[in-house]
Structure 1
Amino acid sequence: MRFLLRTFVLLPALLLALVVIPSAAFSVALGASDGSLDGWLADGSSDATGFLAFTSPPPGTVPTPPGTVPTPPGTVPRPPRPTPPALTFLKDQATIYPHIIKKVIGDRLSPTIYAFTENGYLYRSDHDGRLWSLVTTAAPVEDFLMSSADPDVLYSGVGVDCRDPRAPNQPFFRSTDGGVTWRELPTAMNLRPLLIDPTDPMRLFAADCNMLYLSMDGGRSWQEKPDNAAGQLWLTHRVIGMAAAALTEEDDETASTPHWRQLYAIGVDRSGNGVVAFSDDEGETWVNLVDPATALEAPRAIVAHQMQAGLIWVVTAQGVWTTSDYGVNWTLYNRGLREFTALRAPALNAITYSNDGALYLATLRGLYTKPGADAAWKKVTGTSFDELHLSGLLLTESNPSLLWVNSAEDGVFVYRLANR
Structure 2
Amino acid sequence: MPIDLGLQRISLLLLKLGNPQLSWKTVHVAGTNGKGSVVAYLSLVLTSSSYKTGRFTSPHLIRKADCVCLNNVPVLDQTFALAERRVLSVNEVEKIGATEFEILTATAFEIFHSARVQFAVIEVGLGGRLDATNVIPGANGGLGVVATGVTKIGLDHEGILGNTIGEIACEKAGIAKQNIPMVVDATNEVEALASITRVAGTHKAPITKSVPDLSTVTAFGDLSNLRSPLLGEYQLANLMVALNILQVILPVAPQITPQLVIAGVESVQWPGRLQKLTLYYRQNTPGLPLLLDGAHNGQSAVELSRYLAKNREEGLTFVIAITRGKSLAPLLSNLLQPQDKVVVTLFGPVDGMPWIACMSPAELRLEVCRYVAPERVFVCENQVAALDKARELHRGVVVCGSLYLVGDLLRAHERVRSTNDDASSGLKDEKT
TM-score, length basis structure 1: 0.28
Higher fraction of strand: 1
Higher fraction of helix: 2
Kindly name which structure, 1 or 2, has the bigger radius of gyration based on alpha carbons.
1
Question: Which structure has the higher relative contact order (CA within 8 Å, separation 6+)?
Answer: 2
